[in-house]
Structure 1
């Protein structure tokens, strides 16, 4: 399904394809040979999303911009099933495996691999060719790549990366109810 949002229509190269059960909405540009498979969502409702030549977004993946964070995916990138790329830049030739998450403000260099369930935290920068192992976490600038059982180390870096400010535009400590109320208002169908 191809949807306008806020008066902006997706721009889709004639050689790109979008599966019937996929959603492409808003300020989205799909380059030559791009494939958006069943159940995937590509949302440019909060800013631009650009997907480069011959890139593939597999089943049930989510690729979206965030307020203040465009999403840019280079050429020949695979975004695996159930992966999540939000307001991030993914360099050409990279692989974002099944269930991986790349958060707003993150920059993934060319030829990187984020393996199954891997996480690239907000405002993290991965150098070209970096590999994030299965279920590991990349955090910081430059990135430390750590196993999930080293939570205290991850948190020492992550807390300085300003997740609440980057993702929600609020200060740490803002009540969850207020954040969700603001997000609910932002995502109302008549808000765009």
Structure 2
């Protein structure tokens, strides 16, 4: 059974239709939407701010998701710091690091990539495997960013964009088979 822990009175809220692998750790102010999946060895630690995961999103094995605190006090009172928002229909590849950023619906995050504080990956954009999106960067719609630090490589092809939806749906089906 997964480790699901409260922190300072904040209980994780997980849709009953989500799949959480046995070795995943979910802590504090975390919400996970329907048909989403958090795979083996993932840690989502909502201790110093909020983490939100939409519907039909897969967070693959070994991924770490965290947020950033508000130096002026408790984020629940000040509204400060940096939460992590992960939208709908997203694939986050194995061993990614997602920290205090925003991933818009229908984007794709490659394996072992890093998306840092206050960065935004727009809808239908892709961060390549191993890329590092540095703080405050914006990865625009329909673009592939790669490298360290990540930079624009090219525009995405239509078949790549179609794969994003396919990947999210395949992981939702796989998660459903694990739940049954």
Return the offset for 1:31: 0.5
Residue ranges of structure 2 left out of the alignment (5+ in a row): 70-80, 154-180
Does residue 126 in structure 1 map to residue 134 in structure 2? no
TM-score under structure 2 normalisation? Answer: 0.75
Return the offset for 1:145: 3.2
Q: Which has the larger radius of gyration?
A: 1
Report runs of 4+ in structure 1 exceeding 6 Å deviation. none
Equivalent residue, structure 1, for 2:54: 52
2:93 to 75, 80, 90: 80
1:27-73 deviations in Å (ceiling 9; x for gaps): 00000111000000111111000001000000000111111110001
Return the offset for 1:136: 4.3
Residue ranges of structure 1 left out of the alignment (5+ in a row): 139-143, 147-192
Equivalent residue, structure 2, for 1:27: 29
Query: Once superposed, what is the RMSD of the aligned Cα atoms?
Result: 1.2
Q: Do the aligned partners of 2:143 and 2:152 also contact (CA within 8 Å) in 1?
A: no
1:108 to 100, 116, 121: 121
Give the number of the structure with larger relative contact order, counting CA–CA contacts within 8 Å between residues 6 or more apart.
2
TM-score under structure 1 normalisation? Answer: 0.70
